[in-house]
Amino acid sequence: MLLKNKVAVIYGAAGAIGTAVAHSFANQGASLFLAGRTLETLEALAKEINLNGGKAAIAQVDALDKTAVEDHLKTVMQKAGRIDISFNLIAYNDRQGNALTEMVIEDYATPIANAMHTHFITGTAAARYMSTQGSGVILALTANAGRKPYTHSGGFGVACAAIEAYCRQLAAETGKDGVRVVCLRSAGSPDTPGVQNAIKKHADKEGVPVETFEKNFAAVTMLKRLPLAAEIANTAALAASDLSSAITAAVINVTCGEIAD
């Protein structure tokens, strides 16, 4: 198992990608601390993982709240004695579908502010514990819009670029203490509600059916398809494992070749 005896904290765990990551990490032997704002969905996820032989505990945590995040990590340390992986997968409340010239500043800036706020809070909080223990991995997820500009994506692409820059700086500052910081860049998983919603907005803007927009977008990738949630999750498990011990300050391309590094 890639993550045997590892302790992982996942924020936004009950979302589509968070759920896929939780299952992948559990299958690879990690003990999970699932955090989110809705207990009902967290409970259902933890029940499924535990019934399948995994280990998952839940907590209601607002990952935009510094005190809530730090109090939760104290609890994790009390129960598990260490934090090996931190993965923030919360949504940023981005609004897509309009050109920048048609947007108000609040709609443009909200995802950027939310992304920076939550990643700073969760990443630095985890890094303090990891630095003390001499090891740990902080993961983030961005999208191809962080590297390549797309029209009508609002502040989302800028938020992704900011996350990647933040990860590089955090890696530079904590690497001496054995902490790795790795970002995964996706082209968007079509089997998740959030991506389907974004696809619909872009399809509507272009005046084409959703199926046509998705097919055309997949056609420009080298693999002629988009990455599924499980593929993102499995890549995250590998990145968090000791097999990737030399990787930090990196953005792993999981776009199915939609962009090339």
Which pair of structure tokens corresponds to residue 86?
Answer: 């931190």
Q: How far apart are CA 228 and CA 230, in angstroms?
A: 5
Taking only the tens place, the pLDDT of each residue in 33-64 is 999 999 999 999 999 999 999 999 999 999 99
Written as one string, the DSSP assignment of 65-88 is -HHHHHHHHHHHHHHHS---EEEE
Q: Are strands 85-88 and 7-11 parallel, antiparallel or unpaired?
A: parallel
pTM: 0.94
Q: How confident is the model at residue 21 (pLDDT cuts 50, 70, 90)?
A: very high
For residues 198 and 96, is the Cβ–Cβ distance under 8 A?
A: yes
Q: How far apart are CA 46 and CA 258, in angstroms?
A: 34
Where do runs of H (alpha helix) occur along the chain?
A: 16-27, 39-51, 66-80, 105-133, 156-174, 193-206, 210-219, 229-240
For residues 156 and 150, is the Cβ–Cβ distance under 8 A?
A: no
Residue 87, beta-bridge partner list: 10, 139
Count the Cβ atoms, other than its own, within 10 Å of residue 245. Answer: 11
Q: How far apart are CA 235 and CA 139, in angstroms?
A: 11
Q: What is the mean pLDDT of the chain?
A: 95
Taking only the tens place, the pLDDT of each residue in 207-246 is 878 788 878 888 999 999 999 999 999 999 999 999 999 9
Residue 7, beta-bridge partner list: 31
Q: How confident is the model at residue 14 (pLDDT cuts 50, 70, 90)?
A: very high
